[in-house]
Amino acid sequence: MPSPNRAFSRPLLSWAFYDFANTIFSALVLTTYFPLYLTQIAGANWYLGVATTTSMILAGLVIPFVGALSDQTGKTKRYLTRTTLLAILFMFLLGAVKTPSALILIFLFACFFYHASLVFYNSLLPRIAPPETQGFASGLGTGLGYLGVVFTLPLANLVDQHLGRPHVFSLGALLFLIFSAPLFLFVPERTVEHPIPFRWSLWKSEWQRILTTLKRLGRYPALLLFLGGNFFVVDALNSAIFWLAVYAREVFHPAQNQLIFLLVGINVSAFLSGILAGFLTDRFGAMKMMIIASGTLALTLGALATAQSFAAFILLTLTGGGFAIAGIWTSGRKALIDFAPEEDTGQYFGLYGLTTKVSVIGSLVFSIAADLAGFRTALWVLVFPASVGFLCLLSSKALTGSR
C-alpha cells in the first residue's frame, strides 16, 4: 500500500501535476493546433481522421503489453520517464515539417509514446494514495490537467499569432518537460514483490498472458461490460474532443480569440468538475459517477448538434461537456482499480488503456460523415456510441451491485 497518507503529500501533488503536463500535449496536439494545422495543409478532413485512428490503434495494440510489463519488472516510473521524453521529442518535431505525410508520421510516433506513458502513469496511482482517497487523487489530477490547458492555450495563441503555428509545438514540448519533472523527482517507484529484468522474450510471454486474461473476461460479465462500456463512451468522448475546434470553426466561423475562449472555458469547467467528480466518486462510488457522466455526455452531444448559435454551443460545452469529460476520466480510473487485483494493476490498466486507445472508430466515422453530410450530422453520429456505453455501464453496475 502507498505510504503517503496526507491529502496533499509531495508525491501525490507531483503525480497529479503530471496530468497538468501531459494534458498540454493533448490540448495542443490532439484537440486544438494540430487538427487545425493538418486540415489546413491537407485541405480535407479524412486525413485527420485516418491519422488519429491509426495512431490510437497502434498504441492500443501495444498498451496491454506495456501494462503487464510494469507488473513484472517493477520499473513503472523508469518506463514512464522514457516514453514521456520520447513523446516530448516528437511533439517538438511536429513544428519542423510542413507536408501532410511527414506530419502524420511524426504525429503517429508522438501519440504512440504519449498514450503508452499514460498506462505507466495510471499504474502509479495506488502508490501515492490509499484506496479511500484514490478518487480524490484521480480527480485532483484530472482537474490540474485541465488547468494546465487553461495555462497553455493563451500562451500558445500568442506564439501562434506572433511567431507562427510551428513554434506552438516547440512551446508545448518545453512546458510538457518542465511540468513532468516533479513526478520524475518525487514520486516513488512502484514496488513489485518478485521483479524480473526486462528481456525481449517477455513480449511473447506477456502477450500470451494478456490473451489468456482476455479469454477469461467471459467469466466476469460485469468487468466485460465495464470495459465495453468504457470503449463506447470514450469513443464518443475522444472523437468529440478531437473535433471540437474544427467543428466550431466550420459550423460557427468564430474569430480565433473566440475559439480560444471556448477551449479555455471548457478546461476551466473540467478543472472544477474534476475536483467535484473526485469527491463524488469517493462519496457515492466510481461506477455510479461514471454512469452519470456518460449519460450527461450522450445528452450533451445531442444538444450540441442542434445548437443554432455559438453562444448556445459554448454554454452547453462548458456545462454538460465539462462535467462529462472530467467525470468519465476521474471515475474510470478508480472503477478500474476497484475491479483489479493489486498485483495485476498494470495489466488491468493495460486492458483499460486498450479500450480507451482503440476508441477512435468514431473519429474516423465523424471525418467521413463530415465530408459527406456535414458537421452537424457527424456530431449526431457520436450520440450512438455514447448511449451504448451508458447502457453497458448501467448493466455492469446492476450485475455487481457496486457503489
Q: Whole-structure pTM over 0.75, yes or no?
A: no
Tell me what pLDDT residue 44 has.
62
Q: Which three cell numbers stand for residue 114?
A: 504519449
Using DSSP's 3-state secondary structure scheme, residue 188 falls into: coil
Tell me what pLDDT residue 5 has.
46
Q: What total of structural domains would you count in the chain? A: 1
pLDDT tens, N- to C-terminus, the chain (403 residues): 334 445 568 889 999 999 999 989 988 988 788 887 887 777 666 777 777 777 777 776 776 677 667 777 778 898 899 999 999 999 999 988 888 888 888 988 998 899 889 888 988 888 888 877 877 887 788 778 878 888 888 899 899 989 988 899 999 999 999 999 999 999 988 777 777 776 666 667 766 776 776 777 777 788 888 888 988 998 899 888 878 888 998 899 988 788 888 888 887 887 788 778 888 888 888 889 999 999 999 999 999 999 999 999 999 999 999 899 888 888 887 887 777 666 666 666 666 766 666 666 777 788 889 888 999 999 999 999 999 999 999 998 887 765 5
Say if 192 falls within a structural domain: no
Cα–Cα distance measured from residue 90 to residue 137, given in angstroms and rounded to the nearest whole number: 29
Say if 132 falls within a structural domain: yes
Say if 91 falls within a structural domain: yes
Amino acid found at 62: V
CATH number at residue 318: 1.20.1250.20
Say if 99 falls within a structural domain: yes
Say if 396 falls within a structural domain: yes
Say if 128 falls within a structural domain: yes
Say if 3 falls within a structural domain: no
Residue 19's domain comprises 10-186+198-400
Amino acid found at 344: D
Tell me what pLDDT residue 201 has.
67
Say what angle helices 76-93 and 10-25 make with each other, to 10 degrees. 30
Say if 1 falls within a structural domain: no
Say if CB 340 and CB 331 are below 8 A apart: no
Tell me what pLDDT residue 401 has.
63
Say if CB 168 and CB 41 are below 8 A apart: no
Residues comprising the chain, all counted: 403
